[in-house]
Structure 1
């Protein structure tokens, strides 16, 4: 971290999204009361791959209320393109502006549902070319595009990387971004996102990231988790590790052809998280004792489970839910739900509390695993855990 102390207001992504959601709710209340809102334009800054875009998608549950534009992939003026129009009858000419199709759909939906907040998310907002720069600034500061104003219930949020490396002491490739002038910086609300391993692990538990990944990361110390989750590339064309790349590694681990072929697995892992992290992870897979979810369900061993680390227990609780749900849906159930409940009686209160928070309190269990939810809630032992969770949250 830089020693000059210029930026110390680092927050977690979860806190940033809570702030945006709370402020948006307040501004929408002003709009509903017929008052003029004082809209804030938030810009999320972080290292690459921290989950900013995914976080916004999860915050805005209805995809019709969100439009994500990757500015880095756009070309100058493509958000609102000028088109010459000649009225031959009146012999006059004017310039019209054709609105980006995705933004146009968001605008139409926002006009139809004016009591609901909508979001235009500008990813990599400060990487556009010079032709795009003024358009982006107008959108961030005035909530409008050339020739097109946005409804009051559309909120603009930006995300990108800082011009200087303020997040890490590690050497990084220089960020090629458009620096903001003083007047612009004074009119936006920058939120500097710091990597928080616990939050990422909670997200990973809920989103079924491969148990090998959450076990490997979760079993490390806090400092080691930080170093593994974000490890910058040492060359311009190299591969580094980010929270996003660790999550994406799950797709390779779910493919038996790749997972069971040492050559393919090595190539896949290195392509996703780089050599340093890749070597550590492969060592864990090949010489360690990887967590076997199937084995713990097929051959219950309470004593062995009790000996697992807290991180491994949490990895089991999150990864086993899909198997428990499938077992309840099958005609020949093998009793996985009861086995799962027995494991929940562990004396590891941290592991149980994290499960209850990430899966039960948030509603994930009910939404994603309805049969498991119904089964467990019929069990007094499980409802006792629910009651204890409620008491602790008072």
Structure 2
């Protein structure tokens, strides 16, 4: 499905976000020294459901410094709506512009914190009507919306789909967008993002996506992972699979009523990821050997754990952290933390290294599982892994 396309320079979402952050940090340094800057407007182009919006949310630590606007859902240039104002005493009239409420909040916060970068994220960047196009052009040219200048510490980032399907050879994918004119294209920095399964899996490990999902996808080959993570619908009204839909599938798998009812489970899965991916995932759940986190924690089985694929071990390490944390708060702990530590002594260095990178190096373990973090840091085997990680990062 995915063929190399030589028309554009494809990069990963992580690379795109790193570029946005590095450039914004540099531009803010310039602003704080009183220099004039020519701010860049990055527009992230990709297939739908890749995680652009979520990535921007995670890039900005304080969500008061971020405003997300879906251009496609806005009416007639309503980033700033014209309102007529009549002064009856002076018999004059003028047009005022009421700023979109969410943008107004961002503007006030940016003015109150001038040393911090703020982001106006325009989703569906190239789906606006003609009025919206004019509004966006004024924003790019003058850093202002009609009647409302924006502070210099507000940076605009866009996201959308390209007019042509340049990301895969699937002919069923049609991008109903309004092509940008030459003047607008000349004032943006397009970043073309290709799906990278490893990046999505690392994110999924950190964000408690269902162990069945990360095990099923993580244990496949690279090409299989890409085909599973993005599979367009075969019909206009059908359902396809995207990284977003696989993530949302976790809510169904967490519901015991749905998970234990074959009819409900099948309907839920097909509604989320479509028939093709749904059939493969159902086969894994019903006839395969799906990863059972609690079975491994209740009855430690080193031989069974050693026989797991690397992807399955990684799924265990990430998904077991929540029950381990809960067990440490219990008045009658069952020793999950001790068992977890023994599994960390596996010979599968790839699985251990990815656990250390996604959970420890990123700070996820300390932030979300403080008791587990404290317990593990008292174990020599874990501290040896921390030391090795530090040496490798030098």
Q: Distance in 2 between matches of 1:96 and 1:157?
A: 26
- Give 1:97's aligned residue: 97
Alpha-carbon shift at residue 5 of structure 1 (Å): 2.9
Partner deviation per Cα, 1:273-327 (whole Å, 9 max, x = no partner) = 0000000000000000000000000000011101100000000000000000000
**TM superposition shift of 1:137:** 2.7
Q: Kindly tell me: are residues 3 and 359 of structure 1, through their superposed partners in 2, closer, same or farther at Cα, counting changes over 3 Å?
A: closer
Structure 1 position 62 matched with structure 2 position 62:
yes
- 1:155-304 superposed matches below 5 A: 155-304=155-304
Distance in 1 between the 2:140 and 2:367 partners? 35
Find the aligned partners of 2:22 and 2:135 in 1 and give their Cα distance: 27
TM-score by length of 1: 0.98
Judge conservation of contact 2:44–2:52 (CA < 8 Å) in 1: yes
CA distance in 1, matches of 2:92, 2:312: 72
Quote how far apart the aligned CAs of 1:155 are: 0.3
Matches within 5 A, 1:352-367: 352-367=352-367
Cα distance in structure 1, aligned partners of 2:29 and 2:308? 49
TM-score, structure 2 normalization: 0.98
Write the deviation string for residues 341-365 of structure 1: whole angstroms up to 9, x where unpaired. 1100101000000000000000000
Give me the whole-angstrom Cα distance separating, in 2, the residues matched to 1:181 and 1:38. 21
Partner of 1:6: 7
User: What CA distance in whole angstroms lies between the structure 2 residues aligned with 1:171 and 1:333?
Assistant: 55
Give 5+ residue unaligned stretches, structure 1. none
1:190-223 Cα deviation digits (max 9, x unpaired):
0000000000000000000000000000000000
Give, in angstroms, the shift of residue 125 of structure 1. Answer: 1.2
1:144 matches 2:148: no
The 8 Å contact of residues 171 and 234 in structure 1, kept in 2 or not, is answered as no
Question: How many equivalent residue pairs?
Answer: 393
Check the 8 A contact 2:165/2:173 in 1, yes or no: no
Query: Partners of 1:222 and 1:2 in 2: how far apart?
Result: 13
Report the Cα offset of residue 104 of structure 1. Answer: 0.2
- CA distance in 2: counterparts of 1:174 and 1:99, whole angstroms: 33
CA–CA distance in 2 between the matches of 1:54 and 1:69?
13
Once residues 315 and 229 of structure 1 are traced to their aligned partners in structure 2, the CA distance between those partners, rounded to angstroms, is 16
Q: Which residue of 2 aligns with 1:307?
A: 307
How far is 1:185 from its partner? 1.1
Structure 2 residues not aligned, in runs of 5+ = none
Give the equivalent residue in structure 2 for 1:388. Answer: 388
Whether the 8 Å CA contact 1:141–1:188 is kept in 2: the answer is no
Kept in 1: contact 2:107–2:150 (CA 8 A): yes
Q: Deviations over 1:32-86 (max 9, x none)?
A: 1011112000000000000000000011121100000011111112110001111
How big is each residue's C-alpha offset from its partner over 1:142-162, in whole Å with a ceiling of 9 and x where there is no partner?
321111111000000000000
Distance in structure 1 (CA, Å) of the matches to 2:62 and 2:4 = 42
Cα deviation for residue 2 of structure 1 reads: 7.0
The 5 Å alignment of 1:328-367 reads 328-367=328-367
Q: Equivalent residue of 1:372, what SS?
A: helix
Deviations 1:222-274 (A, max 9, x none): 00000000001111111000000000000000001101111111110000000
